[in-house]
Copies of this chain bind each other. A is one copy, B any other.
Amino acid sequence: MKKLKELLVEHNISPSLHRIKILEYLAKHRIHPTADDIYRGLVKNIPTLSKTTVYNTLKKFTKNGILIPITGFDNEIRYEYDKKPHIHFQCTRCGKIYDIERDIDIFKNYYIEGHKIQEHHINLKGICKNCLVNEER
């Protein structure tokens, strides 16, 4: 948790206090938070924090390759700080998003029908392990 400042510098982002705090939140809370989650989580300790700052920062982080935005869930942009490619599964009951590590063979070749693939987003929806158990009662 000490190298966050360096990580920012490596990505050409000057490490202001707010930026470090936002990155720290993302590193600690691996739950694919929304901009609003982050704002609400930090404003308790940084009362002057502005929502616009959160949005600006997330945009900068994304542009400079620290974050990956994930879309297609609940009409909000969620962010994650995780480099390994993986699949997302969202439970339609409880709304929680799970990370699932899998290699998807098809996307290992970088072309499909002549198109060059740069990103892939795989979103599954269904009923999660926990909610399945609860339903059986």
Interface residues of A (CB under 8 A from B): 71-73, 75, 87, 89, 91-92, 98, 100, 102, 104, 106-107, 112-129, 132
- A119 contact set on B, CB distance < 8 A: 124-126
Provided the pairs A72-B72, A104-B106 are in contact, do residues A126 and B132 lie with their beta carbons within 8 angstroms? no
A116 to B100, CA, bound (A): 13
Copy number in the complex reads: 2
Tell me whether chain A's interface is mostly helix, strand or loop, or mixed. Answer: strand
Q: Are B112 and A120 in contact (CB under 8 A)?
A: no
With A71-B75, A75-B71 as contacts: A117 and B121 at CB distance below 8 Å: no
Find the residue from A115, A120, A127, A132 having the highest chain B CB count within 10 A: A115
Query: Known contacts being A72-B72, A75-B71, A102-B106, is A127 close to B123, with CB within 8 Å?
Result: no
Complex Cα–Cα for A127 and B113 (A): 11
